[in-house]
Amino acid sequence: CVVMKAKSADEKNIALVHSQKHVDFIRTISSKGLDAKRGKIASRFNSIYFNKGSSEAAFLAAGSVLEVSRFFSFLFYLFTVLRCLMVDLVSHH
């Protein structure tokens, strides 16, 4: 079992799959100026909850996926591994 520390994704990597408008939105959703409006903004989305840590969590989640992908790519290359299992043990509330 390998436990990997979460790393924040670089904007250049996120820009490969998301528009700049979306990146800017996620970056600002945790700003202090939106404290009172955050619930109303979240209600426009299906099953989304925003809080003051949402921006950091989003960038860490994306970065973690990239780190795990790099790690498993290395295993495939080095050991010619044909299968691997990735288990997400984080509880989501």
- Tens of pLDDT, residues 49-65: 888 899 999 999 899 88
Amino acid identity of residue 91, one-letter, is S
Q: Where are the domains of the chain?
A: 11-79
Distance CA 39, CA 51 (A): 8
Distance CA 81, CA 35 (A): 47
CA-based nearest residue to 8, from 55, 62, 89, 48: 62
CA-based nearest residue to 39, from 31, 58, 26, 48: 48
Neighbours of 83 (CB within 10 A): 5
Per-residue pLDDT tens digits for 10-31: 989 999 999 999 999 989 988 8
Confidence category of residue 90, pLDDT binned at 50, 70, 90: low
**Percent of the chain scored above 70 by pLDDT?**
86
**Percent of the chain scored above 90 by pLDDT?**
22
Distance CA 61, CA 83 (A): 23
